[in-house]
Amino acid sequence: MDRIKPRTLSGFMELLPPAQAKMERFMETLRRCYSLYGFTPLDTPLIESAEVLLAKGGGETEKQIYRFTKGDSDLALRFDLTVPLAKYVALNYASLSFPFRRYQIGKVYRGERAQRGRFREFYQADIDIIGDGKLDIVNEAEIPSVIYRSFTALGLTKFVIRVNNRKLLSGFYGMLGLTELSAGIMRAVDKLDKIGPEKVGAILREDLGLSPEDAEAILRFIAIRGTNAEVLAALDAYAGKNELFDTGLSELKTVAAALPAFGVPEGNFALDLTIARGLDYYTGTVYETTLTEHPEIGSVCSGGRYDNLAEYYTDKPLPGVGISIGLTRLFYVLQEQGMLSEELITAPADVLVLPMTEDKAFALRCATVLRDGGIRAQLYTEQKKFKARLAYADRLGFPFAAIIGEDEVAQGKLALKNMRSGEQRLVSPEQSVIEVLKVIAEQHGAKVIKEE
């Protein structure tokens, strides 16, 4: 037979079982944390009509899109989860209750140039809160709490949620009489981390034609640093000159003031006037999240407040606030950094049941008792030597083996071997449930990410 060489396309993540087990835990943790805030799970098609998906049109994205025809249909694979959400909300407007909070963890597709750590198929994990016409500022204040809880549950402690407000920035540029240029200025300021203040200053003066004084004023403004209280005090000095600025400052104060009640420590939060988010889409609070010891990764969770989710589909104003985690890339980077915990059980089950007798009925019953008790139990019935069977348990990292020979069957018990300590005890099937639970609870409780 002519055989085809099996391969997986480059830019498509396909994990071996132990890594996949960690990825599953990662997603499960996010689902649980998002659920705690009233986000409902959503699932939308991978394929949409190209017309619908590209309603916004243009830009870098369109070149990267997977687009094809099937019969008469012009189709495309989704390239983010925001456009499908906009479609969903516009389409189901009458059936939904607002504010509408949804999370979606799903794959999206972008035909980027293949390179290490760049993916063409990748998971995004998004949450959004959509209002009908209006949306209270408390929703914007709650987002850092979702990020904090999720990241902490994943096992991270060394991260900072950096927050700014686009109204504050626009208002400030308004004070300088630069409202028309504010989109361009924000794009320049957004590069501060990468290129430094001098080059940003050069762009402001040379590309955007700002006076040296205005450029200087902007650089001084975005250089404001300190605790939340210090930053807010420095901003107070600019108050009273521009209405938009004052609104932005008031919103920023509301967001910062809500942190203690939401349980977000000040150490994991920073008001950062350099954050603008490139997209013109955002209109209020904006978020970026960076790992303190890995600034080179850039933001791993970003988003913000917008005024019109679905303007391409409906005339209903649908303001919202949302954030997105680029899950596949984050997972890849954590793996590269050795930051995925080895504590988690990645074995396919907690107990490998090894029947050593011809009649396996008692062993099967033991497996059934374990499963009834909620323990993951795998039977191993292949005709292999005892040593080979234990090696299988060892290689896959089973926490326990349950060895069932003639003696055990005669006594109605099993020999429960703790694979880590090597300790072996003769217990009844029911006792084994409790014994196993005691030991694995701790390992199953381990967090997926481990910091140094």
**Which residues, 65 to 94, sit near a copy of itself by CB under 8 A?**
66, 68-71, 73, 75, 86-88, 90-92
Region binding a copy of itself by CB under 8 A among candidate stretches 211-219, 290-298, 375-383, 439-447: 375-383
Site string for a copy of itself, 395-424 (x = CB under 8 A): xx----------------------------
Q: Does 362 bind a copy of itself (CB under 8 A)?
A: yes
Q: Which CB atom, from 219 or from 356, has the smaller least distance to a copy of itself?
A: 356
Q: Does 142 bind a copy of itself (CB under 8 A)?
A: yes
Binding residue count for a copy of itself, defined by CB under 8 A: 105
User: Is the N-terminal amide bond of 319 cis, ω within 30° of 0?
Assistant: no
Q: Which residues of 72-93 are buried (b: 16+ CB within 10 A; e: fewer)?
A: eeebbbbbbbbbbbbbbbbeeb
DSSP string of 99-151, one letter each residue: SEEEEEEEEEE--PPP-TT--SEEEEEEEEEE-SS---HHHHHHHHHHHHHHH
Considering only the C-alpha atoms of the chain, give the largest distance between any 2 of them, rounded to a whole number of Å.
92
- Show contacts with a copy of itself in window 145-174 (CB under 8 A): 145, 149
Which position among 213, 296, 382, 442 is part of the footprint of a copy of itself (CB under 8 A)?
382
Q: Does 20 bind a copy of itself (CB under 8 A)?
A: yes
In angstroms, the CA 404 to CA 350 distance is 16
283 membership: H or E segment, kind and range: strand 282-291
Q: Which CB atom, from 35 or from 411, has the smaller least distance to a copy of itself?
A: 35
Site string for a copy of itself, 226-265 (x = CB under 8 A): -------------------------------xx-xxxx--
In angstroms, the CA 252 to CA 232 distance is 8
Q: Does 126 bind a copy of itself (CB under 8 A)?
A: no
CA distances from residue 7 to 13, 15, 113, 214, 424 in whole angstroms, order as listed: 12, 13, 19, 56, 43
- For residue 37, what are the contacts with CB-CB under 8 A and spacing of at least 6? 101, 127, 142, 145, 146
Q: Least distance in Å: CB of 294 to a copy of itself? A: 25
Q: Which CB atom, from 194 or from 385, has the smaller least distance to a copy of itself?
A: 385
Q: Least distance in Å: CB of 379 to a copy of itself? A: 6
In angstroms, the CA 255 to CA 165 distance is 10
Q: Does 440 bind a copy of itself (CB under 8 A)?
A: no
In angstroms, the CA 154 to CA 325 distance is 13
Q: Does 372 bind a copy of itself (CB under 8 A)?
A: yes
- Show contacts with a copy of itself in window 38-67 (CB under 8 A): 38-49, 51-52, 55, 66
If you search the block for the tokens 């990825």, which residue do you land on? 23
Site string for a copy of itself, 279-318 (x = CB under 8 A): -------------------------------xxxxxx---
Classify residue 285 by its DSSP letter: E
Q: Which CB atom, from 111 or from 298, has the smaller least distance to a copy of itself?
A: 111
363 membership: H or E segment, kind and range: helix 361-372
Give the number of other Cβ atoms within 10 Å of residue 441's Cβ. Answer: 9
In angstroms, the CA 133 to CA 426 distance is 66
Q: Does 340 bind a copy of itself (CB under 8 A)?
A: no
Which position among 30, 78, 131, 161 is part of the footprint of a copy of itself (CB under 8 A)?
131
